Amino acid sequence: MVRRVSEIAPLARVPRAPPGLLGVMNHAGRVACVIDLGPLVGLRARPARPEGKVVMLQRQNGDLGLYVSEVAGIEALAEETATPMPERQGAAVAEIAAAEGPLRLIDSDLLARAIDGLVDAPLPR
């Protein structure tokens, strides 16, 4: 599902797009939608900043990027050390304590449904 983590490229806004859709960007010569991951996992929305990163996902419907403020690394985590969240927050279902702060575990099926709901939402008139 994850193809790579890349620098954020200049974004072109999409008229009448839902707030979570930050815009589209050129990624390796292809157009990719960029969505703010925060609201999909129970965090507040934030504007895309130049120092942010984009986690590129390969999806059946085309390339899609999830905007994140930073990437500390990519690691395999032991799910058995996760504490279920008392109340699900979007696609985030559990947390793991880490020195940098809590890490949220994301259910990939819930995330895919949330992305589909955002990308496939009808445009307002």
Q: What CATH code is carried by the domain that includes residue 112?
A: 2.40.50.180
Residues 6+ apart with CB under 8 A from 107: 91, 92, 93
pLDDT tens-digit profile of 9-26? 999 998 888 888 999 999
Give yes or no for a contact between 118 and 35, defined as CB atoms under 8 angstroms apart.
yes
In a domain, 68, yes or no: yes
* Count of domains observed in the chain: 1
Residue 22 lies in a domain: yes
Dist CA 56 CA 110 (whole Å): 17
In a domain, 72, yes or no: yes
Confidence at residue 56, expressed as pLDDT on a 0 to 100 scale: 92
Structural domain including 63 reads: 2-119
Name which of 53, 56, 52, 1 is nearest 33 in CA terms.
56
Determine, yes or no, domain membership for 102: yes
- pLDDT tens digits for 52-108? 999 998 887 778 999 998 887 777 777 778 888 888 788 988 888 888 888 888 888
User: Per the domain annotation, does 83 fall within a domain?
Assistant: yes
Q: Are 6 and 72 in contact (CB under 8 A)?
A: no
Q: Is the Cβ–Cβ distance between 91 and 76 less than 8 Å?
A: no
Residue 124 lies in a domain: no
CA distance 118 to 122: 9
The span from the CA of 114 to the CA of 36, in Å, is 12
